[in-house]
Amino acid sequence: FLGYKKIGSYGRKISEEVPIHDDALALTPAESSADEYKDLISLGESGQVEFKATFRLDLKTNRRNKDLVRPVVKTVAGFMNTQGGLLFIGVGDDGEIGGIERELDGQSNADRDRFVLSVFQSISDSIGAEFCEYVNLEFVDIDGRAVCVARVKPSAAPAWIKDESAETFYIRAGNASRPLSSRPAHDYIVRRFS
C-alpha cells in the first residue's frame, strides 16, 4: 500500500513514497511536502490527524506549562493504540498555523534537537521508552512557520499512559483521543493486539 490513506472521512493523497501507516513501514524523515501538509491541515482534525498549538508553552502566559504535555502524549498513545496518524504541533484547533518558534529557545538546529529530546522524554516518561520507536518527528516550514510533525505508527503492544497513581488507556474515536474504562479497554486490547 503506497500513496493513498483514508483519513477520517476523507481519502487524501499524502505522498507517493511515504504512507501514513503501514505495518512494514520503517519510520524515516517524511518526504511529504509543505503543500501536502497544508492541504491536509485544511481538511481539519480527524481520526488520524490532530492539531496542537504548542507542546508545553502556554500562549497566554508565554511560560512553559507541563500540564500542556499530557494532551500531546494522550494523542500519541491514542494513535499508537488505533491506526496511527499525524500530530501537528504548531497548528491550532482551527487549523491556524502559528508555528513553534516561540516554544524553541532559538532558531538553531541545537534548539530543535532540544525540542525533539523533550518530546521523546515525555513519551518515554508517560508511555515507556520502548514506545518511542513508533514515533518520528520532523520539522516542516508551512507559510513561513516552523511546524513539528509527529508521524505515529500503530504499536505492537498496548500503550498505557502512566499517572502518579494509575494507568489510562486511550484510543482515537473520531477526531479525539478517548480513555476506555477497564472492561472496554480489556475487550479492545484482546481484539486489537491478539
What's the rounded mean pLDDT across residues 122-127? 97
Output the pTM of the full model: 0.82
Paired sense of beta strands 85-89 and 49-52, if any: parallel
Instruction: Quote the CA–CA distance of 93 and 90 in Å, as a whole number.
Output: 10
What's the rounded mean pLDDT across residues 117-141? 96
- Whether 27 shows a pLDDT value over 80: the answer reads no
- Whether 137 shows a pLDDT value over 50: the answer reads yes
The pLDDT of residue 98 is 95
- Placement of cell 518515554 in the chain: 124
Question: Which letter does DSSP use for residue 68 in this model?
Answer: G
pLDDT digits (tens, 9 = 90+) for 5-24: 333 333 333 333 333 433 32
The pLDDT of residue 104 is 87
Q: How far is CA 159 from CA 69, 92, 171, 191, in A?
A: 16, 26, 9, 15
Confidence bin at 29 (pLDDT 50/70/90): very low
Phi, psi (degrees; rounded to nearest 5) at 87: -110, 120
